[in-house]
Chains A and B, each alone.
Chain A
């Protein structure tokens, strides 16, 4: 398996624009997580899914953020409208095989810059 794949690796956008980040988890994993990393706040969990169902979105900062997982092999994190304070590295991770706990495997991240 190629691991968790995120795209794009880098995104620069203007304030007010819509941004969509994409993630392909490791095949067979039950859980998918979206994290955000900033200098000020470190690594924060935004939302996670179990078997494509959102379980906990309490980390999503505002209604401008939304996430979907339409199938087991794809998830998106959308910010609309984007603001400069959304600039961060966004990581996707996946874990768990058929209910058995495993460690989380992380993608390379998407570095988002909102100007």
Chain B
């Protein structure tokens, strides 16, 4: 079965520190990959996506993610976290055959001053 796993439910980092959020997927073929962010009471906003090509993708708000086929991973990174980055982050995947997204369980990021 197709699945997306985010191993970390909660992560706390200090403002200015670097961040890496983990995402692993299990699909028959390389899926399309996405990272979304959700602030409290809000909808999901796309941070970045990977369809093909360069395995390091840049997104909004200074985020980037690297696709690693050998590890079935698509980890999200940011070199210096800001207090406004506190939110819940969702990794998602879609197969070549369909457009529906399968989401990971989410990682809640807290930022210490």
Contacts and interface: CB of A to CB of B under 8 A. Distances in A.
Contacts, number: 47
B70 interface: no
Contact of A103 (B34, B42, B104, B106): B34
A95 B43 contact: no
A103 B49 contact: yes
Interface in A19-52: 31, 33, 42-43, 45, 48, 50
B99 A48 contact: yes
A108 B77 CA distance: 25
Interface string B70-113: 00000000000000000000100000001111111110000000
A103 to B, nearest CB: 5
A43 B99 contact: no
Interface string B26-59: 0000001010100000111110010100000000
Interface of B: 32, 34, 36, 42-46, 49, 51, 90, 98-106
